[in-house]
Chain A
Amino acid sequence: MSRALECLLVGDCVTQPLGRLASRLEDFSVTTRHAGIGQFQQVLLADDQPDVMIVHTTPAHFFDGATPDEAEARMEAHCAMLAQRLIRGGTLVLANTLEAAPWHPVGQQRLALARLAGQYTARLADLAAQHPMLSVVDVAQVLARIGLNQCLRDQSRLVMRMPYTKAALDALCDAYAQAILERHLPRRKVIVLDADNTLWGGIVGEDGVDGVAIDREFPGAVHWEFQQQLKLLHASGILLVLASKNDEADVRAVFDQRRMPLAWADFVAHRVNWEPKGANILAMAEELSLGTDSFVFIDDNPFEIEQVRGLVPGIACHQFDARRADAALALLPGLARLHCWSVTREDLTKSHQYQVEAERRALKQTFGSLDDYLRSLEIRVEAGLNRAAHVRRLAQLTNKTNQFNLTTRRYSETDLLAVMATGQVFDFRVIDRFGDMGLVGVAIVRDGALDSFLMSCRVLGRRIESTILRHVVDRAANPELLARFIPTARNALAARFLAENGFELVQSTATESLYRLGAGPQASPDILLMEIA
């Protein structure tokens, strides 16, 4: 079922053509409303709370008939209204950078106006840093890519208050839709990469380590820049895995002996063998405990793409063709589901987390009993309550965690802030001797019931979930606490959790099982839980 989304648009031009962004939001049932031209004050200062508010300004709104000082004053006033709107909360606000400064016959004055337009971008960036519910769409870059002469028409602007061409409007609709999707849909987590003719040009088994093309000269430069893009994604929390039909020693030799942006260690899993890539990808997904619908696969070979697409459910497959450099280097920027508006501390350490997890698995092999292994980990849990500073990560967890999730209720940042005002939103950070796994668990108690209980699969199997449930039950202080298990296609893992942790079944239907607190769970004596303010 599509999620409903109400979008209100206001601009100093006609905004109805921008309403076509709704067709780019296939996962949503979108209703759009349009305010009158220039009604910024009426919209920003009203009590209206749509899900999304697009506040589109053209340069004319600030510069038309204004001295530079007057233009700057208008910008300041506009940003102040945006801030007031953002402080009230409840709505995702999209603002935009300005596509161009106005014409002036004097070069130095032209530069001063260009600097003002840049200062407006800086003001928006400052606002976005202060207010998590503001996204800024870089309209300047969107239109620059097309070319301003192809985007702006004075006749249309003057006749019908619409300065943009159809091509520009299509690009703006894409950009605004992308900004909305970044806030509402989880990012794909993993990119699976082929090696030959993808990470480098040529085939290492035939051309040798020195014969493959990966350097700053064409065609190696295409692969070099592609790797640089992957490196950026990796640094923002996307996991890279390698799936190559090769002898592993040959592929490792390229990483070891050739200079390139990516290193072997940047890949959190590797399957370099002669097995079908689809099977390899399924194995790596199980190793990482991640669903394949969060995977993207990139290969130069359409046969491999077809094989993987047929075997791996939900994976997004894309062909890489280095002979067409523009398309090759537009591939990753064009994958909207790899984008996000901001990253959390957990995102930035994601790859390291998975590598450390591999060390834990290796350690486990050396112990005779699970109890001894768990004791050796020296697990510590930090429990927080209603901590608004972590709302971004908590919203991310509720939207991305599918397997160990009792009810799979999704919360936006705004939703969580509202629940914090009336209920209890618990967050849990897990640390052991290998390091800090970050915020990995969320529990929400409201209206006498455990509304949500979820944990990242990375930390399952260490009795942490029972310990944090004990903490939640104690802090809820409600002997009649209710809890639900709502089955989905993905959360069978959590089906028996409540029954096995001291909750009694009250009633069960096809769509949900209702439990009441009984004896409650037992915390693990080997786990130290501390409450953090």
Chain B
Amino acid sequence: MSKRHNKRQSDCPDPEDIVAYLRNELDLREQSRVHDHLAGCSSCRAVAENFRGTIDKLENVEEKRLVRDLTPAVLAQIPETAWQQDKDIHFTHRTLFPILMLRLTTCLIVALGSAYVVHRMWQRHHATPPDEGALTHTTTPVLKQHEARKEGLLWLVRVQDSSGKWDPDQWGGRREYTIGLTGMALLSLARSDEDFLKKLKSIDQAVDFLLSQQHIDGRFGDEFDGTMYNHGIATVALLETYGKNKDPDLEEPLRKALDFIRRQQLPSGGWGYRKHSGEMANTSISTWPLQALLISAELGREDEGHALKRGLAWLVGVVDERGQFGYQQPRHFPHGPNALTAMGAYCVLRASKEGIAVDRRLLHQVEQALSMRPPEKPKANFYRTYFQVCALKEADKKQYADSVSDLQQELLSKRQQSGTNKGSWDPQDQWGTVGGRIYSTAMAALSLEGHSVQGL
């Protein structure tokens, strides 16, 4: 197995890396590289098969079953006083100290407040008229963005069905995507910090509706070609809702939903329209399950079966040398590269922020592709814009602030500013007939969401 083996090629991976590959221990780029190499090198494939066989035999050993619960015996060795002592210490740290700090802080605030009042009284007494020629700095663009987003959310709340869902039939979309569209609308509400939403039941009702549509196997919605869109979007929306409110009633449904995602994962690591023999994974479908697994990881859950890692390894495998993401393989762009690149970039950049090892050169190429401006102004596409904004924000660099701002300004110019649908967006893009006004408004509101790029 040494590197001097005369059948090995010069680009063969080190055997230790073959073992690490089998154990899913390489970073995404390396995992993908070794995977591709094994497909074309019979010598390394034989090495991998040998090790795999050994690991299979090792895994197939019997366990020794415990015949009794050791908990009473363990607890008997810990003195009772230790528990009470911990409670006392915790009480002191968590209750007495904060009370003391609160009192000190209150005194400080009162003192500062008094000083401020005295200062203002003195200023008023000695004030001079303002300079009429002075420039006034406004935050008008930011205010417009905030107002537009708020109006979009208000529109969504207004048109929500009493069952909790958003009905595509009424708004120009397709009925079979009710789950996904409800998920999109819920996501836009859940991600927002608007005060008015906290007083309404819109989020709760949407959650209740989605939960009512979950099957025993964890799937949200009926089975059809668009299942993974519906299920993926609903799971992401519920995960983000859970991330905010930590509602324990969501834990079991989410566990089942994530298990369903893992079961639908194709052997290649991505996700396709259906799980059956011959199905190929594609970036459009894979993006939503990957986001769900990423959020799950961010919430501290295990990456069971290495589903997230395998999914990301598949995803980086469709990146070409220019950092663009293909549909099913590199340089495969049935509808152009921009939307796919935005979706893929968002997942990869988010994964990198989560601490998952991603090749630095790949990240740089992806960011380059993401920030490239096309030669002509592209046609409107709410879906693409949403992922572009998310990906650029995830890259989190000052030089992308203008790009984010441009995308958001473009959205503002398309908003309906009067009439019964004031605050919403016309579904005038290639997915408009699928998602309708719910889709266009939810995606636009999400794109205008204001977490900043380096202080923007």
Q: Is chain B found bound to chain A in the same assembly?
A: no
Interface set of B (CB-CB < 8 Å, partner A) = none
